[in-house]
Structure 1
């Protein structure tokens, strides 16, 4: 800890310490950077996985400065309640009343709340401490709230005149909050204490400093450059703004809202865009005005002018704060002098052009001539802000919807025809977590980002064989680019791969001109992707600035708030709801012995159990835990396994496994034995630093066909494929994963009966595919086939410790797909198969990096 001269002063003596690599037991990686961390460089080591690369951190060099201790708003409110003798649920009578109020505020309109409180059953049984909406609102006003909302009326004078010859006017309202106070609330929230950074840092994947890492904003270049220009004792709060106009109702209403969101780069990106964490706040509603007082010829231009006028009013407090700094009590209870600087503006393409004051056929970041947009090219008042470079890439609209769906898919459909494309999608083998387009894609009328992502997972395999190698190279290059761009943590190597994919596309893109599908490539969204690498280096990985995040926030900040209003003068009601909602959602923690909550926020299923199997000799990529049903849903004889699951060599495979498990045992399995059989198994996947520091799970299903029963439709059999370590004894975690695993199809998941031997984990009967030796450079995928001997599948029984993760296989087709190939038989009928490298980003990173 820093030395202190008094109880209220903290002195930070900061020296750069040479990076070392001698920690025998590394501490878990943390996304935050505390005062103690500023004192020198940290080294954190991940488990022995080539993708859990080590982090060598060089902190920003700063001069010693003195920080005073302060009290956060929450601490002050808590102390006041304690002094007044209030309990943790104040101003509500109990936890049950808190839950009732939470439900009323977030789900019920104002008039419906009044009706609910007047019901006899509510009065007699609920026994709430308030009896009317008015009294409820008084209690809500006692909660600690954020900065106050202000309504600023704006009179717009048009160029049209009324019958008396006077100019027509329109009265509009701008609802906004002070962004500096909102920043203070975020950076001073004790819940974010372990997720905040106050200084930039340079992170490397090796001690030689040749492999730079980019993930959080504080690991990129922009913050480092800005901090160098700051005076002694000054610290930067990178301001991130996002705006997106949205409809408030999907049922015939013409009412819209234009929310403006604010968050800060000091906060970890995994926290700031998670709605339940409230790391992003609403700072204003821009007016959605039709401006009928103007003639049609100038109306659009005046709407643009109104946007800039309102935005200038909204961000005006940032001007003085960015120049002079503001003392803020941060989450660590220290008073820092914060300089809020606008760093990022997140918007879709039309709003990007609106912010940058350019036409919608131009680039909002650079001055490229329109005729050169398809070629590979080598807010003035806000301090330290370049509004053009603050406009970040938009993966949702530029890549998923733009370059991929609106352009690449259309070009390829023209090449092979819609019928052939649909047939190939229809014959795609099913897998858990993968959408199966049973009727193809030509009939899909409503497209969202989710559908675009699902198409990308199989699109290269769909096009393979149907088009020539040049077209396939362009397809693979663009899909690879989309996957690299979605990495949550980048390295010098991954950025180079991103660049190579873009160059490969531009090298071969003229094939679509030769096929007379395109005349040019002067496409704004295609040009925009050239700025991706610069943005990552300046501001960190792009998942922290995707427009999907603010669109998700519309649910809480716009649509649900609108539903909670009475639909009349709704903006003031929406503002009031959001002023008290964060405090209302900050529920005190329950008993620590309560059930654990998963990453998705739901408790684990009661019919499943989580078992941990610690083993010092087990490689890091094998399951650290698995989740399976407490009670096996089936108990089946060997004959049933052979007919229902296709496990025709189950007995010989089990005999081999038992001999390896206990060579001295004389017990032999027979066709009369019964086994507890499971439908699915969930195994953990080791953290992948290209994705996230959090571990993920992979579900593996092995279910036989289900006949028609009542209203339930018949279900075909489903047997997932997985990457399996064939021999744990020779596996080396630091070496390339793909060189040490084989693909296998899981036919049965079962427990070993106690009469044979004891085994700590469930087992799986698998059918092997050939080794991963043939890599096709055009598709970027491995080519495999069924592993057989004398026309029989090579099979084994393996422990689930050998299962690494799920995977997906696709048929290697010719120019026309075999009409007999369907989703449920293509793995058995296709002579050659692709290991789908785009099944998910985690598998993609293992194959490509």
Structure 2
């Protein structure tokens, strides 16, 4: 019912339960049960102005919308639907001598975090709650002016993977990051690129700020089984595609966000030990080298500090986790396998026309695959304009066989 209709309805009664629609909305907002309420924050540029015309992005207020992650995490812990598929402590599972990895709490990272918690007398015996984050910057065809769409989601690693995938409340929308716009003449300037990177890290630092106290001092939470436990929070895996991984870790695109290997290093020819990135190494090189050297020789964006460095339990190099859709399904199959086959055909064919004829023959063979349970029919072959995850997984069965 619209606000105007609510007002008309209230006027029909001599003793209406609400004065108007605002009174009704105010009561709904005050109800303690239900989803965590939304908040908004504004971030603006406060640095020096460059000579010449002042870019519009320097004067704008860049808004972010979010919910309190502490309250969201508490609601996930207290959800009784997860009581039977919830890990209250890390564990190791073996079949013979093989370590079995199934849920997040069965891994070595959660085990190490629990060891650190147990060594502190103030947190000894507390339940470790890893907060899983994920974001995917994209665009939408419909909207209200700005078609940029940058949602961020969270979950907790205590919930079993099977339950998280199947349950509608296992993954929660936490907020929306801001994607600033500017004029074409300022889009590639150093100041603008630095501001866009800093805006993301400042936004994430502000959004997750309520979790920071609970990373060093145990917080009493109610669990889905009805018991109260002391909990210590930690920033867990952050799931994102490669551009977002570089942005979050302040790494130059083209470099690995997990190790310090050179971009030109071929896996087959590299015989040395792969050294993972660490906070201590990054702090050391940032202290002694200039920004240009950091960029060119270490692949580090030295003038932006990753948001995770402001949290006691947040190592961005350990947090980064691959995006299954973009990096494994679409990345490995579409961007690598399909592209490699097409390039091989163009290289071996005597001319471009012959190569295109071979590709047409492949499409014809895909189109005439007989229907079968579990197989999807592709009447146009593999010529998609927009590849989705379902397209890639379904075509993979036909193309590779």
**TM-score for the superposition, normalised by structure 1:** 0.37
Alignment correspondent of 2:61: 171
8 Å contact kept, 1:325–1:338: yes
CA spacing shift, 1:446–1:252, aligned 2, 3 Å = farther
Alignment correspondent of 2:149: 257
Bigger mean CA offset, 304-313 vs 277-286? 277-286
Alignment correspondent of 1:382: 311
Mapped to 2, the partners of 1:440 and 1:335 lie a distance apart of 56
- CA drift at 1:225: 1.5
- CA drift at 1:214: 1.2
Instruction: Find the residue that maps to 1:282 and give its secondary structure.
Output: strand
Could you give the per-residue CA deviations for residues 652-687 of structure 1, whole angstroms, max 9, x where no partner exists?
xxxxxxxxxxxxxxxxxxxxxxxxxxxxxxxxxxxx
8 Å contact kept, 2:55–2:182: no
- CA drift at 1:341: 0.8
- The answer to whether the aligner puts 1:453 opposite 2:393 as a matched pair is yes
Could you give the per-residue CA deviations for residues 198-251 of structure 1, whole angstroms, max 9, x where no partner exists?
11112233xxx3233211112111111111221322110011011222335437
CA spacing shift, 1:348–1:131, aligned 2, 3 Å = farther
Alignment correspondent of 2:303: none
8 Å contact kept, 2:55–2:186: no
Could you give the per-residue CA deviations for residues 684-719 of structure 1, whole angstroms, max 9, x where no partner exists?
xxxxxxxxxxxxxxxxxxxxxxxxxxxxxxxxxxxx
- CA drift at 1:386: 2.3
8 Å contact kept, 1:241–1:261: yes
Mapped to 2, the partners of 1:336 and 1:359 lie a distance apart of 42
Mapped to 1, the partners of 2:26 and 2:359 lie a distance apart of 61
Mapped to 1, the partners of 2:127 and 2:107 lie a distance apart of 16
RMSD: 3.4
Alignment correspondent of 1:558: none
- Give matches, 1:448-487, under 5 Å: 448-461=388-401
Q: Could you tell me which of 419, 442, 445 is aligned with 2:360?
A: 419
8 Å contact kept, 1:328–1:336: yes
Mapped to 2, the partners of 1:376 and 1:333 lie a distance apart of 56
Q: Could you tell me which of 204, 223, 229 is aligned with 2:110?
A: 223
- CA drift at 1:270: 2.4
CA spacing shift, 1:320–1:402, aligned 2, 3 Å = same
Instruction: Find the residue that maps to 1:195 and give its secondary structure.
Output: coil
- Give matches, 1:653-664, under 5 Å: none
Mapped to 1, the partners of 2:74 and 2:54 lie a distance apart of 51
Q: How many residues align?
A: 340
Mapped to 1, the partners of 2:55 and 2:395 lie a distance apart of 58
- CA drift at 1:307: 0.9
CA spacing shift, 1:445–1:286, aligned 2, 3 Å = closer
- CA drift at 1:431: 1.0
CA spacing shift, 1:173–1:254, aligned 2, 3 Å = closer
Mapped to 2, the partners of 1:190 and 1:301 lie a distance apart of 44
Q: Could you tell me which of 278, 282, 285 is aligned with 2:173?
A: 282
Could you give the per-residue CA deviations for residues 124-148 of structure 1, whole angstroms, max 9, x where no partner exists?
9xxxx98975465345333614544
Gaps of 5+ in 1: 1-111, 462-849
Alignment correspondent of 2:82: 192
Mapped to 1, the partners of 2:194 and 2:55 lie a distance apart of 23
Q: Could you tell me which of 38, 41, 48 is aligned with 1:152?
A: 41
Mapped to 1, the partners of 2:316 and 2:32 lie a distance apart of 37
Gaps of 5+ in 2: 119-123, 274-307, 346-357
Could you give the per-residue CA deviations for residues 8-50 of structure 1, whole angstroms, max 9, x where no partner exists?
xxxxxxxxxxxxxxxxxxxxxxxxxxxxxxxxxxxxxxxxxxx
8 Å contact kept, 1:401–1:452: yes
Mapped to 1, the partners of 2:371 and 2:399 lie a distance apart of 14
Larger Rg: 1
Mapped to 2, the partners of 1:164 and 1:184 lie a distance apart of 44
Mapped to 2, the partners of 1:152 and 1:140 lie a distance apart of 22
Q: Could you tell me which of 251, 260, 267 is aligned with 2:159?
A: 267
Instruction: Find the residue that maps to 1:230 and give its secondary structure.
Output: helix
Mapped to 1, the partners of 2:90 and 2:225 lie a distance apart of 17
Mapped to 2, the partners of 1:313 and 1:428 lie a distance apart of 53
Could you give the per-residue CA deviations for residues 568-622 of structure 1, whole angstroms, max 9, x where no partner exists?
xxxxxxxxxxxxxxxxxxxxxxxxxxxxxxxxxxxxxxxxxxxxxxxxxxxxxxx
Could you give the per-residue CA deviations for residues 152-186 of structure 1, whole angstroms, max 9, x where no partner exists?
32221463468799995222223333322221121
8 Å contact kept, 2:43–2:61: yes
Alignment correspondent of 1:360: 253
Instruction: Find the residue that maps to 1:277 and give its secondary structure.
Output: coil
- CA drift at 1:330: 1.6
Could you give the per-residue CA deviations for residues 245-283 of structure 1, whole angstroms, max 9, x where no partner exists?
233543795333322222100112223344x53122233
